[in-house]
């Protein structure tokens, strides 16, 4: 009886061990597959969480370590990428893939020699494999070692004359040398051999962009994102081209897609903020740019753009604070945003500082109409009416059809009881803008008590260049 009970106990223990092992394996398989789905979709941050959990279950699983390392690389965590890729190497995962991945990490870290060494190690393992020669050539091309890149591409084609990645690589070298017709022939050859090789289309998009043939560039890049929907680079490039067209909605949508598919770099966030500003969406710009400066607090241009966003949502003091931060980081950069700085001080009711900034703008550009007119508004608030009249007069000499300038000048003259001058300015306003009710009201009140001067919004007096400062 005791023997029978002993056997039953041992059988139960054995079954528990088997069930635990099955649950253990099931947990790993589920986590690994979930991670793979996420990484295949370009959601590398989420994939890291799943792969981390999977590696905790099976710490020596080669592919799980490789996938975790590659996902860390995609999220910009290069130290952990190296750790898990080297684990994959130690646990004998595909050696060539690991060498290529390590090369990418070292390249991103700026260690060119280690990147070349990793590709060279892959070549030692497979000296006649066209792919490993092409990968090394790609690295040389990115480093502008054109002759070395060309040698490796030709070596790849020696082992496989129809190897499309090498053909595209040679086409890129030809494009780099500005031999555009020859490059086009090579790209066409690559497409005929394999129309599904995505890199052909992004390279063609770049070629057409260099030729300022942006419509064709968009066509090629749209083909690229259809083939590689999870690569943020295609969307980023499309956004840049749409910005050239001033089609900011399409540029915004593509930048958001790039971010959605893994590009969460501060540069992309700031570019999105810039695009929101250009598309007159200052609240959206403010939200994105706040994230950007939190990520990189010493990015001068991000602070400048954030100041502009605050200014457009009537947060004058917040705009001043942002511009102050930019000025602190780089005092020489102030000349690039001094006009907006003046507007910010005005909005924050700091009129002396506002006038000082507009004076600085005028020293930089004596024909800056907006600076004269806006400094006049600051002088009005400071009750320096003679100075305001001088500035408005100078501004109107440069731009005689500026309706608001004539209106402000008329209001000052009326306030100072200079009836004839006020009448002349109000009549000029009506001549330029027959429906202007303020000028008509001013004329009607010339015999009444002096009006209260109410300067209008000052932000739109100066055109901005459509340039993104990286």
Read off the pLDDT of residues 363-418 as tens digits, 9 standing for 90 and up.
Answer: 999 999 999 999 999 999 999 999 999 999 999 999 999 999 999 999 999 999 99
- The secondary structure of residue 383, as a DSSP letter, is T
Among candidate residues 228, 229, 281, the one with its CA nearest the CA of residue 251:
281
Closest CA relative to residue 131, chosen from 104, 165, 89, 93: 165
Mean pLDDT of the chain: 89
Other residues' Cβ atoms within 10 Å of the Cβ of residue 5: 9
Both structure tokens of 188: 């066409």
Q: What is the pLDDT of residues 181-234, one digit of tens each?
A: 999 999 999 999 999 999 999 999 999 999 999 999 999 999 999 999 989 999
Higher model confidence: residue 9 or residue 74?
Answer: 74
- The model's confidence at residue 449, banded by pLDDT at 50, 70 and 90, is low
End-to-end Cα, the chain, rounded Å: 84
Alpha helices of 279-350 — where are they, by DSSP H? Answer: 282-295, 300-312, 316-329, 338-347
Residue 261 pLDDT level (bands cut at 50, 70, 90): confident
Flag the least confident range among 17-26, 165-174, 453-462: 17-26
* pLDDT digit string, tens, across residues 297-342: 999 999 999 999 999 998 999 999 999 999 999 999 999 999 999 9
Percent of the chain with pLDDT over 90: 74
pTM, 2 dp: 0.75
User: Please, are residues 430 and 440 in contact by the beta-carbon 8 Å criterion?
Assistant: yes
Q: Does 1.25.40.10 match the CATH number of domain 365-470? A: yes
pLDDT of residue 9: 46
Joined tokens for residue 136 = 């090394």
pLDDT higher than 60, residue 45: yes
Helix (H) or strand (E) holding 437: helix 437-444
* pLDDT at residue 458 in the model: 55
The Cα-based distances of 260 to 44, 46, 231, 247 in angstroms read 11, 12, 10, 20
Domain positions in the chain are: 365-470
* Alpha carbon distance 414, 308 (integer Å): 34
30-44, 216-230, 238-252: segment of lowest average pLDDT: 30-44
| Segment holding 240, helix H or strand E | helix 232-244
pLDDT of residue 16: 46
Cβ-defined contacts of 324-327 (< 8 Å, 24+): 325/293, 326/300, 326/301
**pLDDT of amino acid 27:** 87
Q: Which of 143-147, 181-185, 217-221, 280-284 has the lowest mean pLDDT?
A: 143-147
pLDDT at 362 over 90: yes
> What is the pLDDT, as a whole number, of residue 107?
87
| CA dist 21 → 180, 218, 462 (Å) | 61, 53, 71
Between CA 33 and CA 442 the distance in angstroms is: 75
Q: What is the mean predicted confidence (pLDDT) over 458-462? A: 49
What's the CA gap between 207 and 220, in Å, rounded? 10
What is the per-residue pLDDT across 6-25, written as a single tens digit (0 to 9) for each? 455 455 554 444 444 444 45
Task: Answer for the pair 403, 429: CB distance below 8 angstroms, yes or no.
Answer: yes
Q: Which two tokens stand for residue 198?
A: 């995505």
b (16+ CB within 10 A) / e for 182-208: ebbebbebbbeeeeeebbbbbbbbbbb
pLDDT for the residue numbered 112: 87
CA–CA distance, 122 with 114 (Å, rounded to integer): 13
Model confidence at 90, pLDDT cuts 50, 70, 90, reads very high
CA angle 405, 356, 376 (to 5 degrees): 15
CA–CA gap between residue 320 and residue 326 (Å, rounded)? 10
CA distance 384 to 46: 61
Q: How far apart are CA 283 and CA 286, in angstroms?
A: 5
- Burial class of residue 418, CB neighbours in 10 A (0-12, 13-18, 19+): middle
462: left (phi over 0), alpha (psi -120 to 50) or beta: beta
């Amino acid at each position: 009886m005791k023997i029978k009970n002993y056997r039953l106990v041992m059988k139960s223990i054995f079954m528990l061990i088997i069930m635990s092992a099955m649950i253990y394996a099931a947990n790993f398989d589920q986590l690994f597959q979930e991670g793979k789905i996420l990484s295949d979709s370009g959601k590398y941050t989420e994939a890291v969480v799943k792969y981390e959990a999977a590696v905790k279950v099976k710490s020596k699983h080669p592919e799980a370590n490789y996938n975790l390392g590659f996902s860390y690389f995609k999220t910009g965590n290069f130290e952990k990428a190296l750790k898990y890729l080297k684990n994959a190497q130690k646990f004998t995962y595909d050696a060539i893939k690991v060498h290529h991945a390590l090369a990418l990490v070292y390249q991103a870290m700026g260690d060119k020699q280690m990147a070349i060494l990793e590709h060279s190690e892959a070549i030692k393992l497979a000296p006649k494999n066209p792919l490993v020669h092409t990968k090394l050539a790609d690295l040389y091309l990115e480093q502008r070692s054109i002759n070395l890149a060309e040698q490796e591409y030709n070596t790849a084609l020696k082992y496989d004359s129809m190897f499309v990645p090498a053909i595209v690589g040679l086409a890129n070298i030809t494009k780099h040398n500005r031999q555009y017709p020859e490059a086009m022939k090579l790209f066409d050859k690559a497409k005929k051999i394999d129309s599904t090789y995505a890199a052909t289309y992004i390279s063609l998009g770049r070629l057409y962009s260099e030729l300022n043939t942006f419509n064709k560039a968009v066509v090629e890049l749209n083909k690229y994102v259809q083939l590689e929907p999870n690569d943020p680079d295609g969307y980023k490039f499309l956004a840049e081209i749409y910005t050239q067209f001033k089609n900011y909605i399409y540029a915004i949508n593509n930048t958001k897609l790039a971010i959605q598919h893994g590009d969460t770099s501060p540069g992309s966030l700031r570019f999105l903020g810039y695009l929101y500003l250009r598309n007159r969406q200052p609240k959206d710009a403010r939200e994105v740019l706040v994230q950007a400066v939190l990520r990189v607090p010493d990015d001068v241009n991000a602070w400048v753009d954030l100041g502009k966003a605050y200014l457009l949502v009537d947060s004058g003091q917040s705009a001043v604070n942002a511009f102050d931060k930019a000025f602190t980081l780089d005092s020489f950069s102030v000349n690039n945003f001094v006009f907006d700085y003046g507007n910010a001080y005005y909005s924050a009711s700091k009129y002396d500082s506002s006038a000082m900034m507009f004076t600085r703008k005028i020293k930089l550009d004596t024909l800056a109409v907006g600076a004269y007119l806006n400094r006049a508004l600051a002088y009005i608030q400071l009750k320096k009416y003679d100075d305001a009249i001088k500035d408005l007069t100078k501004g109107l000499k440069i731009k005689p059809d500026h309706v608001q300038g004539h209106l402000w000048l008329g209001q000052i003259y009326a306030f100072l009881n200079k009836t004839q001058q006020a009448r002349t300015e109000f009549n000029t306003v009506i001549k330029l803008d027959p429906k202007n009710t303020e000028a008509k009201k001013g004329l009607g009140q010339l015999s009444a008590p002096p009006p209260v001067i109410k300067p209008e919004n000052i932000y739109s007096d100066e055109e901005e260049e459509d340039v993104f400062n990286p």
